[in-house]
Each structure stands twice: as structure tokens, then as C-alpha cells.
Amino acid sequence: MTMLYKSGDGVKNINLSVEKGELVTLLGPSGCGKTTILRTIGGFLHNQSGQVLIDGVDVAGLPPEKRPTAMVFQSYNLWPHMTVYENMAFGLKLRKVPKAEQKRRITEMLALVKMPGYDKKYPTQMSGGQQQRIAIGRSLLLQPDVLLLDEPFSALDAKIRSQMREELRKIQTDLNITVVFVTHDQEEAMALSDRIVVMNKGVFEQIGSPQDIYNRPVSRYVADFIGEMNFIEKKRRRHHGRPPGEHRRPKGRRRRPGRLCAQHHDAGPLSGDDGGHRRGHREAVHFGGRGRPVQKGRRRGACLWRKAGI
């Protein structure tokens, strides 16, 4: 799919397939085209070429309200003249949900986003983070097939942010919603996603699971962007006193460019495989991915240097 603005900025020839119930994150620096993709999926922008298929149906001709999508915008877009309750009820009314049912769902949702009792407030009477939570709640109430979230947690403090991530994950799994999530925060992407798309100036640099991207970055750009890494130029290896051929590359194997990349890493997947690794000691492990331990502090004896071939 290609969607370019008149200025020539936008996204070009991108291709992404998202499974039902999957949470895929578009990750990249400011201006790389994340919002452009979400708006094109949601129907707020129209692609010049390619297709946007939802459940196999090309939604190109459909306006946003006719698409099975809901979007939380970067600037949360609550209607300023409506109370929280009216904002949340708006979409339900359009879908002709009975009033009592609307009330029940909205009360439940306000509790879920940790804002019970805010139903009579107007957006201007709330902080940015509170408005953001209401906007997320409003989109979830619609139970869309595809939920498009554009940096939805950017205005929240660290604690609520991580709570909201967990809530989002829970709701998304319970309702089996497909989510395309946008962030420029690597840690958030690692912690939340089934797969991550690392973007660079309107194109996809790498698509993969958090582990893939972290352990096997395809380029220096990805390695640099995804986390704190040290890059160490590799010295040409000398085979002093070793029998000739002992260190020769097996036939057919590509020579890897000479750079090592040091990661903060749980030694688990690396242990037992000393090919390409150097011994060192681990100062700290920072990794927020699901199901993975987050360790901090000094520990000795683990492999630190890992040949990444980048």
C-alpha cells in the first residue's frame, strides 16, 4: 500500500498482514509514517495504490463509520461540548444499543479505565491522561473487529501506563480484537506486542516478534532503535599456533561483517551456544517483554557479547 501526501511524505509500498486477535505495533521515530498507516486503515486517508483488506474485503470505498474499525487518535478527540458519559454513549446510540445497556456498559468501562464517577465531567475539566483513558474506553465500548490505537498511553504516568497496557492486553484477548498499536516507545512495544513493525522514513525496516527483533535485528538501524546496545568493531581473528583450517568458515557460509553487538540480555537463549559469543559479565538486564524476567543489578558469568552480524 502507498499513501503519500502532496509533499511526498507518507508511506510507500508497505505490506503487512495482521492475524485476527493479534496485537501488532508500529514502532518508529517521529515522522516515519505510523499515524499515516492507522488513518489509512481507519478510512481517514485514502491510499493511492494497493489495498486495505479487512476480513478479505477491500474497504477502500468505505467511510470510517462504515468500517469495522475504531480509532483512538493521538490527540484523543473527545467532543468538548459533551460530558464523559455523552462522549462514551455516542457510538452506542448510533448502534442502537438500548439505554439501560448503554448505562451498564459505560459504568463498567469507566471502572475498567479507573475513572468511575467521571461521567458528568467535560473533557476540559480533565487532565490529558484522563482524557486519553476516556478515549480508549470509548473505542473499546464499540467492540470493533480492528482497534487502531495511536500512542494511546503517551500522556499517562509510568504506573498507570503499565496498568493500562495490562488491561488492554486482557480486554484484547478476552474479546479477541485485532489491534494495530502505534508507539515510538521501544519498551512499550516490547512489553505489549505479538509482533513489532520497525519503521524508518515511510518503509518497514523489520517485522517480527519482540524476541526476533531484539535478538536478530536485520540492520544497524533496528538494533540502534530497539534498545540500548553497544557496537564494537570486530578485530580480524588471528590463528596463532592453531592447526591450519581449524577456524575456517564451513563452505557455503557467508562471511559476516565485522561488528559485534552487545545487548542487555537474559542469558537464557544464549547459554549453551558459545559459537559467536564472547565471555563477559552481565551488568544488568533490561527487558520488558511478556513472559520474560526483568532483572536489574550486577550478575557475573553470563555471555554478554553476541555476534549479531550487522
Cell reading at 74? 493521538
Per-residue interface string for the shown chain with ligand ATP, residues 66-95, x marking contact by CB under 6 A: --------x---------------------
We find the least distance from the C-beta atom of residue 4 to ligand ATP, in angstroms, to be 9
7 near ligand ATP, judged by CB under 6 A: yes
CB 85, min distance to ligand ATP, A: 30
Site map 154..193 versus ligand ATP, x via CB under 6 A = ------------------------------x---------
Say which entry of ligand ATP, Mg ion, none residue 132 contacts (CB below 5 to 8 A, set by partner kind): none
* Shorter beta-carbon distance to Mg ion: residue 35 or 40: 35
Q: Which of 24, 32, 134, 198 binds ligand ATP (CB under 6 A)?
A: 32
The reply to whether 35 sits near Mg ion by the rule CB under 5 A is yes
CB of 8 to ligand ATP, least distance (A): 9
* Among ligand ATP, Mg ion, none, residue 161 binds (CB under 5-8 Å by kind): none
Q: Which stretch binds Mg ion (CB under 5 A): 35-43, 158-166, 268-276, 297-305?
A: 35-43
Q: Which of residues 36-65 bind ligand ATP (CB under 6 A)?
A: 36
Closest to Mg ion by CB, 35 vs 178, is 35
From the list ligand ATP, Mg ion, none, pick the one residue 124 interacts with, judged by a Cβ distance below 5 to 8 Å according to partner type. none
Give the whole-angstrom CA distance, residue 76 versus residue 128.
9
Give yes or no for residue 35 binding ligand ATP (CB under 6 A): yes
User: In this complex, which beta carbon is closest to Mg ion, that of residue 109 or of residue 182?
Assistant: 182
Residues 6+ apart with CB under 8 A from 100: none
Q: What is the 3-state secondary structure (H, E, C) of the chain?
A: CEEECCCCCEECCCCCCCCCCCEEEEECCCCCCHHHHHHHHHCCCCCCECCCEECCEECCCCCHHHCCEEEECCCCCCCCCCCHHHHHHHHHHHCCCCHHHHHHHHHHHHHHCCCCCCCCCCHHHCCHHHHHHHHHHHHHHCCCCEEEEECCCCCCCHHHHHHHHHHHHHHHHHHCCEEEEEECCHHHHHHHCCEEEEEECCEEEEEECHHHHHHCCCCHHHHHHHCCEEEEECCCCCCCCCCCCCCCCCCCCCCCCCEEEEECCCCHHHCCCCCCEEECCECCCCCCCCCCCCCCCCECCCEEEEECCC
- Point out which residues bind Mg ion (CB under 5 A): 35
- Point out which residues bind ligand ATP (CB under 6 A): 5, 7, 9-10, 28, 30-36, 74, 184
